[in-house]
Amino acid sequence: MQTANFRNKLNLHGDKVILFVLGLLFSFQASAQYYEKENLPNYDEQLIHYGFYLGGHTANMKVRYNEAFLTNEFDSLHSIIPQSTPGFTVGFIFNLRIAQYLDFRTMPGVGLYQYTLNYNTYDQAEEITYQGKKEAFYAELPLLLKYKSQRRKNFRAYMVGGVKPSFEVSGKRPSEINEDVLLINTFNLALEVGFGIDIYYELFKFSPEIRFSRGVTNALFDRQNSYSSPINELVTNSVSIYFQFQ
């Protein structure tokens, strides 16, 4: 697919992305100290805020082998290694003020994800690797609590945490696929935790944020094929960067 080729050209890696965003956050914090005027002074007194966000992420899966693999029933297969792949997310923000330093927010959106597993085998003493992939768009509905620090001029730090259910909205369902491909469930539930900075400008609030996600449900579809037969469970992991405008 063209989207996969585009992401490969980007050559994004989780550690590089995190270092870039941390540098960006520190630069925003430093620039905020130069503001003498307090922008949007009554912003946080409002009950409800709306906005939108753009995001990027790297995603992979944790593999847990089944008994058949552990007892060496797959002679040629010696390991399955998850590969991190980049993607993107867009959506809207609904924020509800609960207390002075606590908000509830939901961020409905759509994300493009690709999950890739590298299967390493031996064939006549030669190592051969083949891949199992799943690429699809997912509708996401994060339900988060946001705990905020005290505001300093036009700057405020915060932490977020909650759950994120997601549903596949593109492609065929696993039960409808006859090809020998990596079969992933269309529903996933993940726990999320992250941190960010609120920066107040004259007309809007900008919030760069880093969030970590860990699946709590088995993403492996229950119908077996050559890709899923050595696997007992697949758990999703992702690191995301969000640029939020409210």
Task: Please tell me which residue, 222 or 5, carries the higher pLDDT value.
Answer: 222
> In whole angstroms, what separates CA 241 from the centre of its chain?
8
Q: Is the pLDDT of residue 243 over 60?
A: yes
Domain range annotation of the chain: 2-245
> What is the model's pLDDT at position 123?
73
Q: Is the pLDDT of residue 90 over 70?
A: yes
Q: Is the pLDDT of residue 208 over 70?
A: yes
- Which of these CATH numbers, 2.40.160, 3.30.420, 3.40.390, 3.30.1910, describes 2-245? 2.40.160
Contacts of 202 (CB under 8 A, 6+ apart): 39, 40
> What is the model's pLDDT at position 26?
57
Phi, psi dihedral angles at 187 (to 5 degrees)? -120, 140
- Which H or E run contains 96? strand 85-99
**pTM beyond 0.85, yes or no:** no
Task: Please tell me which residue, 208 or 230, carries the higher pLDDT value.
Answer: 208
How far CA 217 is from CA of 28, 86, 166, 177, 221, in Å, comes to 37, 22, 11, 22, 11
pLDDT in tens, 3-44: 444 444 444 455 555 656 556 555 555 554 445 688 999 999
pLDDT in tens, 151-199: 999 999 999 999 999 999 876 666 666 566 788 889 999 999 999 999 9
Sign of CA dihedral 210, 215, 220, 221: negative
